[in-house]
């Protein structure tokens, strides 16, 4: 039996590339997509190639980025557009295989082993995907082609943007072994520092390092890294299934100023619960529990939760339950820096209905009917087409 043919597709500078589709006059300028500094999320989320030339890095503060590049153009994130273009890219991948494993919003592994009779070699399929993405979506993708997932991921990182790189049985020692250890998947800073302390700097160094040393430094993870360096990764491309449905759905926020009252939190819970409700509806799920997360001004973290007899997918009900939980457990001895709310105890419609017949859910059902209509309107006309008016303070 021959080798598998695995692709790793990495949409280049994804947030920045999509944002520039809607700001085309800025394409020749250094641009970064950044969090809102006024809301204390002032970091670089993505940057374009022009910004990279100035040394602008993802996850650094906006202030640091501006010191490097005073003319940097800062754009706010367009999360709805990023999700839309991620789905469009997935639709391209699905032309060539149904074995697709997402790795974040902008990366995917594809197993195209069974697709070669229809579409050609792995490299040819990668080139077709690269051209489709560029011509149809207006953004670019780098694709790594190899016989395992780890090397395919390395390949997509080697040449950017808009490129295809093949790492084969014949060339992997030449291409992979000179790379720094930090290029390997999941070889983070601490792992890299431990290996460097023993003179292990490159992927090839891992191969010749003794098993005893690797186990002493990294435990069983050391042997896993060695297997990957030797090209022995056999992990499958795992397509999400029904079993991969979310176990909980939550949102949190750090306020532009500290929360000092229940009224402040209520307005925020309403805002956070809307996307939670939309996610539950999109998966056909109902929540039997709600969890509240708070971080105080002194950075103490607390979590409280409660399970209910009646399930719901209503954002209003989830927010109201969150307030019940907060009031029962916190008295504002000090202000709150951040708050979060999470729907837990999720079940599908059939399981939820069977349980709810033992509860008193008439008022919940009425609220859900209203929100079902709102949800369908937003799906058809966009998220900003209809929103809930200010609610009575709880």
Active site residues: 107
| Number of CB atoms found within 10 A of residue 31's CB | 26
Give the bridge partners for 291, in sequence order: 305, 342
Give the bridge partners for 202, in sequence order: 180
**What is d(CA 42, CA 9) in angstroms, rounded to the nearest whole number?**
28
Planar angle of CA 270, 276, 280, nearest 5 degrees: 135
**What is d(CA 56, CA 48) in angstroms, rounded to the nearest whole number?**
9
Give 289's contacts (C-beta < 8 A, 6+ positions apart): 305, 306, 307, 308, 343, 344, 345
| Number of CB atoms found within 10 A of residue 228's CB | 23
- Residue 267, classed as helix, strand or coil, is helix
Report which secondary-structure segment, H or E, holds 190: helix 189-196
Give 347's contacts (C-beta < 8 A, 6+ positions apart): 285, 286, 288, 311, 355
**What is d(CA 150, CA 176) in angstroms, rounded to the nearest whole number?**
11
Distances from the Cα of 126 to the Cαs of 4, 24, 89, 94, 119, in angstroms? Answer: 14, 27, 13, 13, 10
Nearest-CA neighbor of 307 among 335, 323, 287, 326? Answer: 287
């Amino acid at each position: 039996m021959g080798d598998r043919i695995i692709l790793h597709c990495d949409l280049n500078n994804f947030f920045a590339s999509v944002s520039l589709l809607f700001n085309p006059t800025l394409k020749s300028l250094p641009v970064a997509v950044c969090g809102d500094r006024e809301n204390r999320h002032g970091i670089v989320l993505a940057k374009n190639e022009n910004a990279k030339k100035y040394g602008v890095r993802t996850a650094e503060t906006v202030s640091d980025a501006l010191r490097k590049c005073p003319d940097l153009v800062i754009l706010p994130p367009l999360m709805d557009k990023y999700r839309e273009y991620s789905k469009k890219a997935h639709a391209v991948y699905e032309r060539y295989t149904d074995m697709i494993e997402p790795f974040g919003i902008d990366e995917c592994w594809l197993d195209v082993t069974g697709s070669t009779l229809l579409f050609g070699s792995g490299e040819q399929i990668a080139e077709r995907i690269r051209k489709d993405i560029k011509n149809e979506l207006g953004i670019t993708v780098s694709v790594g082609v190899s016989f395992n997932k780890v090397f395919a991921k390395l390949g997509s990182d080697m040449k950017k943007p808009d490129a295809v790189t093949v790492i084969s049985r014949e060339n992997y020692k030449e291409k992979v072994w000179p790379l720094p250890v930090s290029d390997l998947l999941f070889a983070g800073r601490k792992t890299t520092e431990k290996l460097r302390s023993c003179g292990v700097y490159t992927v090839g160094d891992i191969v010749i390092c003794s098993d005893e040393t690797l186990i002493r430094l990294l435990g069983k993870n050391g042997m896993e890294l060695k297997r990957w360096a030797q090209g022995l990764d056999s992990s499958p491309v795992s397509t999400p299934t029904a079993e991969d449905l979310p176990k909980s759905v939550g949102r949190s926020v750090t306020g532009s100023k500290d929360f000092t009252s229940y009224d402040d939190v209520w307005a925020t819970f309403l805002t956070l619960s809307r996307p939670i409700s939309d996610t539950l509806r999109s998966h056909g799920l109902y929540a039997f529990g709600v969890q509240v997360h708070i971080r105080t001004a002194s950075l103490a973290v607390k979590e409280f939760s409660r399970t209910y007899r009646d399930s719901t997918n209503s954002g209003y009900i989830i927010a109201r339950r969150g307030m019940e939980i907060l009031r029962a457990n916190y008295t504002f001895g000090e202000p709150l820096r951040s708050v979060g709310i999470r729907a837990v105890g999720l079940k599908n419609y059939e399981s939820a209905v069977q349980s709810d017949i033992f509860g008193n859910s008439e008022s919940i059902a009425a609220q859900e009917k209203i929100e079902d209509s709102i949800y369908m309107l937003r799906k058809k006309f966009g998220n900003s087409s209809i929103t809930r008016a200010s609610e009575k303070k709880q």
